[in-house]
Amino acid sequence: MNTLWNNIFRSKLDEETLGGFLAKVPVFTELEKRDLGYLENLIHVRNYRPQETVFEQGDPGSGMYIIRSGRVVIFTRDDHDREEELAILAPGDFFGETTLASPAPRTVSARTAENTELLGLFRSDLLATATKHPDIATRILLGLTKMISERLQAATLEIRRLQQHSDDQES
């Protein structure tokens, strides 16, 4: 699938505790043990059935989701309501993270492929953390910035590769 959506440095996930699971999510790897305890209280656990919509393209974005179990399909719809699948995400992957720092309409849709447990972290919770525990919020935002930067770099390289391929086809 598309490397833009792959979560870099995915490792085997510890499903025994929520904190242990979160510690292995790239956005949260800089958090200390006590920070993870605080984060556990911010996280919203949501369970979805197969083919259930998490959000639709164009919906207001308010935060990110982390897959604890199950799979999520990321896709777009064109003007004729045809779907184009962009990625299938698995446990440890996350999506929607760009709206955590800055609210914006969703640019894609997300739907579960099977029974799925998602962990939600929302902008309002992060803003409250920034007031009460700025050090924790800073570490979360630095982790988020790192992941977005890595995805942007991967996207830039992919665009260059596609442009080169297109130029080669025209020659």
Q: Is the pLDDT of residue 148 over 80?
A: yes
- What pLDDT, in 10s, does the model give residues 101-141? 888 999 999 999 999 999 999 999 999 999 999 999 999 99
Class of domain 18-170 as given by CATH: mainly beta
Q: Which pTM was predicted?
A: 0.81
Average pLDDT, the chain: 88
Nearest CA to 35 among 46, 45, 25, 47?
Answer: 25
Share of the chain above pLDDT 70, in %: 90
- Please compute the mean of the pLDDT values over residues 10-30 and round it to a whole number: 77
Domain ranges within the chain, ordered by starting residue: 18-170
pLDDT for the residue numbered 7: 55
Query: What's the Rg (C-alpha) of the chain?
Result: 17
Work out the average pLDDT over 152-164.
90
Length of the chain: 171
Q: Among candidates 72, 68, 78, which has minimal Cα distance to 51? A: 72
* Neighbour-count burial for 147-157, b at 16+ CB within 10 Å, e otherwise: beeebeebeee
The CA distances from residue 88 to 3, 106, 128, in Å, are 11, 17, 32
Is residue 6 very low, low, confident or very high in pLDDT (cuts 50, 70, 90)? low
SS3 per residue for 47-78: EECCCCEEECCCCECCEEEEEEECCEEEEEEC
Does residue 145 contact residue 36 with C-beta atoms inside 8 Å? no
Among candidates 119, 122, 114, which has minimal Cα distance to 48?
114
CB 113 within 8 A of CB 71: yes
Q: Report pLDDT for 35.
A: 94
Measured CA to CA, the distance from residue 154 to residue 160 in angstroms comes to 10
